[in-house]
Amino acid sequence: RKEVEQDPGPFNVPEGATVAFNCTYSNSASQSFFWYRQDCRKEPKLLMSVYSSGNEDGRFTAQLNRASQYISLLIRDSKLSDSATYLCVVNEAGGYQKVTFGTGTKLQVIP
Amino acid sequence: EADIYQTPRYLVIGTGKKITLECSQTMGHDKMYWYQQDPGMELHLIHYSYGVNSTEKGDLSSESTVSRIRTEHFPLTLESARPSHTSQYLCASSGTGTGPYNEQFFGPGTRLTVL
């Protein structure tokens, strides 16, 4: 089983739709969590950190469920510009704080 | 914008050549990383560093080597490039904090093609 798992998609959604991605992680000692966005042939860029109580940034909402070991990303009112691959990132506790990237979920917003 | 830089951005080179991919950051971050990513595929960690004089191999075996003589600089070297090394190489750095603020910042990447 992979340490961090995501559905690769693609998720094809119409403009204006709401879409949600989940990401599961296997290490219960994982400490911090992030969502990154990666456009085609570009570097990943931080979309948002995921706080224990959940957090929102405009149309984006991130949630953490420690009991079930997953994080989620909800995108409301999808825009064409949201089309990208969304990477789930999990940091472990400890001296090195191993960082594990998920394989990514591809989102295509269609007009 | 993150202050992490990679050069060259694109490199086309013949088999057997020695190459060095440069990565530098001005954020004073202790941790630095090298990833390899093929188009449309996942990121693979190939090297990382806790700080000066610290280097470790990542999850994906790589014939490349790295050095960390200065905090801000983390170059990657291939002694003899081969076509199988063709890929995108991404450098990243992160601070020493923990929790939700310790994100990685990525450079723009070097796209390497070995003929």
pLDDT in tens, B53-91: 999 998 888 899 999 999 999 999 999 999 999 999 999
Model pLDDT for residues A23-68, shown as the tens digit of each residue? 999 988 888 899 999 999 899 999 999 988 889 999 999 999 999 9
Distances (CA, A) of B64 to A14, B18, B55, B110: 43, 10, 12, 14
How high is the pLDDT of residue B60?
Answer: 85
How high is the pLDDT of residue B93?
Answer: 94
- From B23's Cα to the closest Cα of chain A, the distance in A is 14
Q: Do A32 and B99 touch (CB under 8 A)?
A: yes
Of A41, A51, A93, the CB nearest to B100: A51
- More confident position, A99 or B75: B75
Distances (CA, A) of A31 to A52, A109, B56, B73, B109: 10, 32, 22, 27, 27
Q: Do B106 and A31 touch (CB under 8 A)?
A: no
B98 touches chain A (CB under 8 A): yes
Instruction: Compute, in degrees rounded to 10, the torsion defined by CA atoms B10, B64, B52, B3.
Output: 20
Instruction: Say yes or no to pLDDT of B12 above 70.
Output: yes
